[in-house]
Amino acid sequence: MTPTETWLSRLIAHPTVSSVTNLPLMAEVEKALTALGAVCTLFPDATGQKAALLARLGPDGPGGLMLSGHVDVVPVTGQDWTVPPFALTRQGDRLYGRGTTDMKGFIAAMLALAGRAPTLTRPLWLAISYDEEVGCIGVRPMLAAIAARNIRPDLVVVGEPTSMRLGLGHKGKLAFTVSAKGTARHSSEAPLALNALHLAADFMTGVRALQDDIAAHGPAEDGYSVPYATVHVGRLTGGTVVNLVPDSAELLMELRLLAADDPAALTARLHDLAAQIVAPHRGAFPTADLTVVETGGYPGLSTPLSPAVHTFATCLPPGTRPCKLSYGTEGGLFAQSLGVPVVVCGPGDMAQGHRPDEYIETAELAACDAALDAALARFCASPDARAD
């Protein structure tokens, strides 16, 4: 196996789903990087069961390159795997295991790169996070520390799977819980009650109208399969038995935003919609309510073709074209926190991620190794070492 494939086997052996600790994996990575001379800092979470890691190889100076990835993976429960999910399995040119594509393949390439790095004139930073899959949680304290230390690499590469295409943008996300409060009554007198599910249904009808308005009049950006912001209700719950009018209901929803969208304005429209639906019922039912609570999210990413991005593009195979991504990443958080160019580029195809028998092609890992070698030479190891 190549050094990257060896590292991938070691990483896959750790079942780092978000519900369990990642400390054994992080301890193994920290030990290996420290042995290479890296300066490592761990960022534990409040429970002490998870940690992010920031490592630096080379001098502690300005510029250089930062490579970023998350070690958490989605669960395998209920999925029909034909190979062990937490043991790397080779079948021809494919390597199978949970996280091979999303996104331990890139982290393996990062760690293998550290093992063969020459003397560096500018820093190579490795940023490894946790709980990206459940809301980009683990990267935030680490990013706050990076910003406070005024670490400003010339470029950040977030290695989510793009089939080694150059990802310059993705939408942001806002998630909401909407709670409806009505009044209960026996269903034989349903018109005398206020059905919370009906309130929720009226809200969903308003959400559909909001989507139509966004599509017709909102900002648009080329490169996406849906070139405007999307608003989506993913879950509705409420009620207990059919002969009782439910007095509570809850729906879960999200907004996927372009960089040009105003998150506060769109959030305000949801609050206004809830108020408009409840207002006609308050006279007969004073306790009627629809509350909209934001529960999480992350910013979008829109990276212009700066000199540093152009330099990285020359490290990719000839003919590689920029793209926009349909999924979110930690890239927007890096750009927002550090104010430096951020691209998303990594091995594997997201179509293979989160699925049973997740795999990555060995050729993709080899292409990633070649691109990172070239980027290291341009950003960290050349005499002037500054992207131009």
DSSP H or E segment with residue 193: none
Residue 289 bears catalytic tag:
no
DSSP 8-class letter at 223? T
Choosing from 72, 133, 160, 330, which is the catalytic residue?
Answer: 72
Is pLDDT of 117 > 50? yes
Name the average pLDDT for the chain. Answer: 96
Residue 276, classed as helix, strand or coil, is: helix
Residue 294 bears catalytic tag:
no
Helix extents (H) in the chain: 3-12, 23-35, 105-116, 139-148, 196-217, 263-278, 307-313, 331-338, 362-376
What mean pLDDT is predicted for residues 222-240?
96
Choosing from 132, 202, 261, 364, which is the catalytic residue?
Answer: 132
pLDDT tens-digit map of 257-268:
998 899 999 999
**Confidence (pLDDT) at 62:** 94
- Quickly count: other Cβ atoms within 10 Å of residue 47's Cβ: 7
Calculate the dihedral angle through the C-alpha atoms of 211, 217, 218, 221, rounding to the nearest 10 degrees: 110
Residue 146 backbone dihedrals phi, psi, to 5 degrees: -60, -45
Is pLDDT of 388 > 60? no
Token output for 368: 């990633």
Q: Within 13 Å, how many C-alpha atoms sit on residue 119's CB side?
A: 1
Pick from 160, 192, 190: nearest CA to 343: 160
**Confidence (pLDDT) at 384:** 54
Pick from 32, 11, 1, 26: nearest CA to 114: 32
Contact 247, 208 (CB under 8 A): no
Encode burial over 149-171: b for 16+ CB neighbours within 10 A, e otherwise.
Answer: eebebbbbbbbbbbbbbbbbbbb
Reported pTM = 0.90
**Confidence (pLDDT) at 260:** 87
What mean pLDDT is predicted for residues 331-341?
96
Number of residues assigned to the chain: 388
pLDDT tens-digit map of 46-60:
999 999 999 999 999
- Give the C-alpha distances (Å, rounded to integers) separating 69 from 136, 160, 199, 289: 11, 7, 42, 42
